[in-house]
Amino acid sequence: MRYLRNTFLNSCLITILALTATLHAQTRRAPQPEDLYQLKTVSDPQLSSSGIVFVVTTTSEEKQKDFSHLWWLGASEAEPRQLTFGEHSNYQPRFFPDGRRIAFLSDRGEDEKTGLYVLDLRGGEAQPLIKTDQSISDFT
C-alpha cells in the first residue's frame, strides 16, 4: 500500500512539474518581460485516497491580474483536469472527510469578497458553503 501511495504521489508531482515547464519548449533567447504571462505556478497540493487537488495560478496580460484555479488528478486518471474557471481566484482547497468534495476560498461572489465554497468532485458547480458580510481569509 505504501508503495502504491508513493508511486501515485510521484506521478502527481511529475504531472505538476510538467504543467510549469511551458517556457522550456521555446528556443533559447533572453527572457522578456512578457514571458511572465506564460508562466504558471503550481501550489498547495492536497492529497486524498482518491487523488490530488492543486492550485494553478496565471497572470492575465490584458487584466494585469493573477487568476488561480483548482485542478484535479484522480488516482485512476491519466491527465489532470481543471475544476474552476473564469476571472476569479480560487485557492486553499481542502478535502471533506468523505474525499469526494472540496472546500475552497474564492472571490467569485457578486461583491467579489472572498467566500468559502464547496465543490463535488463528481461534477456540478461550486456552491457557497456559508454566507457572511466579510471576506474569509482562512479556514480549517
Please write the tens of the pLDDT for every residue from 121-135: 988 899 998 878 888
- Apex 117 CA angle, 116 and 123, nearest 5: 170
Beta bridge partners of 53: 46, 72
In this predicted structure, what is the pLDDT of residue 73?
A: 95
pLDDT digits (tens, 9 = 90+) for 52-77: 999 999 987 777 788 999 999 998 88
Q: How far apart are CA 39 and CA 62, in angstroms?
A: 15
- What is the reported pTM? 0.75
Q: What is the pLDDT of residues 1-51, one digit of tens each?
A: 455 455 555 555 566 655 555 445 556 788 777 777 778 899 999 999 889
8 A C-beta contact, residue 57 and residue 67? yes
The residue with cell 456559508 is 130
